[in-house]
Structure 1
Amino acid sequence: MAASASRKELLGKVHKMVPPMLESFHKGQLGRVAVIGGSEDYTGAPYFSAMASAKLGCDMSHVICEPAAGAVIKTYSPNLMVHPYMRQSKNLSKSSSESEASIADAVKSMLPRLHVIVIGPGLGRDPLMQDTCASVISAAREQNIPFVLDADGLYLAQTRPELVQGCRECVLTPNVVEFGRLAKAKGVDVSEGNPEDLCAKLSRAFGGVLIIQKGAKDLISDGETTLVSDGEGGRKRSGGQGDTLTGSIATLLAYRKAYLDKLWDHGGELGKEETLRLAAFGGSAVTRECSRLAYKEKGRALQASDLTEHVHQAFLNVIGEKDESRL
């Protein structure tokens, strides 16, 4: 069923979930996020995702990528922590002790240090990169770490749906084409019907996995409750804007953990499932506002990098900062 709450009411709840900036907090409490992706051909996507996470207030933003991508991403910003642990099949060392298992173990060794992971930006379809991420997803589920799948991360959900089946700490972010591929993989007919109902139908087919179907309106559903994010966005559909979405969602999921762990005295009663939906809704609202602001400034010249510079202002516009004088 579609939620009856208004956009203002939903964003008000997201605001409640966002931690205040208290002097008592220490480094890392307000978010430790890693983006897993980045290959020889694709270095921008993981950067945009990780920087959106950082600009939204995440304390520590990591990128776990292929060495060739890592060398490039390090030149984009010194603020990101870049770990060249991933390997494409052709770059797997034959003369050392490096193996498929050791690569996966290196990535998984970081999981206890993280609150949220994003899998997919710039990942590509290389079998070893895909297999490594499959192993990471299984480990994240075992450790109850929320994860967001986008781009080639969604290819894993399409080809190995058992990896995400029934996971209530997973967010899928397909565009219209990717949505169709996921539906086909699950044998779900999405050719006719109300879009909100179809999004919920696909979510139920995946056992209640949260799905954000990106489009003119973003539809967010866990199979039971469906939210519609219809804030104004920009009119330029440049590639890479979805990376701002994944990074924004990741930071809000980290804030969700702080809220559920009662890191500060908020007296709230928002539950796990509702806060998961709210993190997705908030990420969508911030990204759409980023796109609106960037398009207003750049027009048809807008590029994905322009959204990055507007993340904080978009957050202030749609969610708002805490009034710390009241705390």
Structure 2
Amino acid sequence: MKGLLSNRREDSHKGDYGRVLIIGGSRGMTGAPYLASQSALRTGSGLVYTMVPQSLETIMCIKLIEAIVKPIEDKGKGHFISESLNTIVKEIENMDALAIGPGMGVDTERIELIGEVIKSSEVPMVIDADGINCISYNVAMLLKKKRSIIITPHPGEMGRLMKKNIHEIQENREYYARYAAEKYNIFVVLKGHKTIVASPQGQLYINNTGNPGMATAGSGDVLTGIITSLLGQGVNPFEAAKLGVYLHGMAGDLSRDKKGEYGIIATDIVKNIPYSIKILMKKENLC
């Protein structure tokens, strides 16, 4: 991780640290984009935009104080619709990185949305959760990308992508992470005990931070926000993925040290992201 973090300039402004967009949410699933957005902020993003279906605007504006909420017309359906595709794609143009998928749900309209974003986006992106589930219906859409893509599946999502059961994935984690990365020219973060990061060139990183207490709802959304923030700050995709899972695990370890493994929730991990960054920077004599 050496050299990936640096002290900020005295004359910094928020525009120096990335504009990131979190695309997600559906009725009943507002927590996922919220957690991803908060994590991006806590990882140092200068500006975080949270794009949600218009039906969710009020609750997201209440939940998110520091992020900028971008409601998208949904005709009262509570999820993204095909008619809003052009608006969504247009909003991406001014961003430095984006994440798509947390809490988004899966249907034909959202599968179309994922495909269009992949095909048209000029910025690096993280695809997580329902974004991955949408891709599993047509994995070849990944080959149409213009910029780097990081996917962050848990074993179940990886199984759907690879058309394998979870047991097969878990028994061959390194193989499937590398296989998917090389075949689709993407970066793969296969979550779980000793999370694996694989590059299209066949490189593998096996993470050594984290603990079983992080097996809790929303933990993956936190990781998505961390990695997206690092991408937006200009860290290259493989390093952003490696550093992201390391910091995520360290934040989980700090949470465990305070509360034990049984009581950790995702917001605990979010709160410990800055302390994880501080510890890592101190190790590198940056603070």
Larger-Rg structure: 1
Task: Kindly provide the amino acid, as one letter, of the partner of residue 138 in structure 2.
Answer: R
Where does residue 174 of structure 2 map in the other structure?
Answer: 196
- Give the 3-state SS of the residue equivalent to 1:83 in structure 2: strand
User: Residues 54, 86 of structure 1: CA spacing in aligned structure 2 closer, same or farther, 3 A cutoff?
Assistant: farther
Where does residue 113 of structure 1 map in the other structure?
Answer: 94
**Is 1:237 aligned to residue 215 of structure 2?**
yes
Where does residue 69 of structure 1 map in the other structure?
Answer: 56
User: Residues 165, 89 of structure 1: CA spacing in aligned structure 2 closer, same or farther, 3 A cutoff?
Assistant: farther
Task: Give distance in 2, aligned partners of 1:294 and 1:19.
Answer: 24
Where does residue 290 of structure 1 map in the other structure?
Answer: 251
CA offsets, 1:7-41, max 9 Å, x none? xxxx11xxx23353113333322111111001111
Task: Kindly provide the amino acid, as one letter, of the partner of residue 61 in structure 2.
Answer: K
Structure 2 residue runs without a partner (length 5+): none
- Give the one of 262, 279, 285 matched to 2:240: 279
Report if aligned partners of 1:234, 1:292 keep a CA contact under 8 Å in 2: no
Where does residue 127 of structure 1 map in the other structure?
Answer: 108
How much does 1:311 deviate? 1.1
Where does residue 153 of structure 2 map in the other structure?
Answer: 174
Where does residue 248 of structure 1 map in the other structure?
Answer: 226
Where does residue 162 of structure 2 map in the other structure?
Answer: 183
CA offsets, 1:77-123, max 9 Å, x none? 3101001115278469xxxxxx834x111111211210001001110
Task: Give distance in 2, aligned partners of 1:88 and 1:247.
Answer: 28
The residue correspondences of 1:21-60 to structure 2 (distance < 5 A) are: 21-60=8-47
User: Structure 2 length normalisation: TM-score?
Assistant: 0.88
Task: Kindly provide the amino acid, as one letter, of the partner of residue 100 in structure 1.
Answer: S
- Give the 3-state SS of the residue equivalent to 1:23 in structure 2: coil
Task: Give distance in 1, aligned partners of 2:87 and 2:114.
Answer: 12
Task: Give distance in 2, aligned partners of 1:198 and 1:319.
Answer: 33
Where does residue 275 of structure 2 map in the other structure?
Answer: 313
Task: Kindly provide the amino acid, as one letter, of the partner of residue 164 in structure 1.
Answer: L
How much does 1:194 deviate? 4.7
Where does residue 262 of structure 1 map in the other structure?
Answer: none
User: Residues 279, 319 of structure 1: CA spacing in aligned structure 2 closer, same or farther, 3 A cutoff?
Assistant: farther
Report if aligned partners of 2:27, 2:78 keep a CA contact under 8 Å in 1: no
Count how many residue pairs are aligned between Structure 1 and Structure 2.
282
Task: Kindly provide the amino acid, as one letter, of the partner of residue 216 in structure 1.
Answer: H
Task: Give distance in 2, aligned partners of 1:239 and 1:88.
Answer: 29
How much does 1:312 deviate? 0.4
How much does 1:322 deviate? 7.9
- Give the 3-state SS of the residue equivalent to 1:38 in structure 2: coil
- Give the one of 175, 184, 189 matched to 1:212: 189
Report if aligned partners of 1:220, 1:280 keep a CA contact under 8 Å in 2: yes
Report if aligned partners of 2:118, 2:144 keep a CA contact under 8 Å in 1: no
Q: Percent identity among equivalent residues?
A: 23
How much does 1:281 deviate? 0.6
- Give the 3-state SS of the residue equivalent to 1:29 in structure 2: helix
User: Residues 322, 55 of structure 1: CA spacing in aligned structure 2 closer, same or farther, 3 A cutoff?
Assistant: farther
Task: Kindly provide the amino acid, as one letter, of the partner of residue 173 in structure 2.
Answer: P
How much does 1:137 deviate? 2.0
Report if aligned partners of 1:183, 1:190 keep a CA contact under 8 Å in 2: no
Task: Kindly provide the amino acid, as one letter, of the partner of residue 36 in structure 1.
Answer: I
How much does 1:68 deviate? 2.4
Task: Kindly provide the amino acid, as one letter, of the partner of residue 177 in structure 1.
Answer: G
Report if aligned partners of 2:55, 2:74 keep a CA contact under 8 Å in 1: no
How much does 1:225 deviate? 0.6
Structure 1 residue runs without a partner (length 5+): 1-10, 93-98, 258-274
Task: Kindly provide the amino acid, as one letter, of the partner of residue 38 in structure 1.
Answer: G
What is the root-mean-square deviation in Å for CA atoms of aligned residues? 2.6
Task: Give distance in 2, aligned partners of 1:127 and 1:86.
Answer: 17
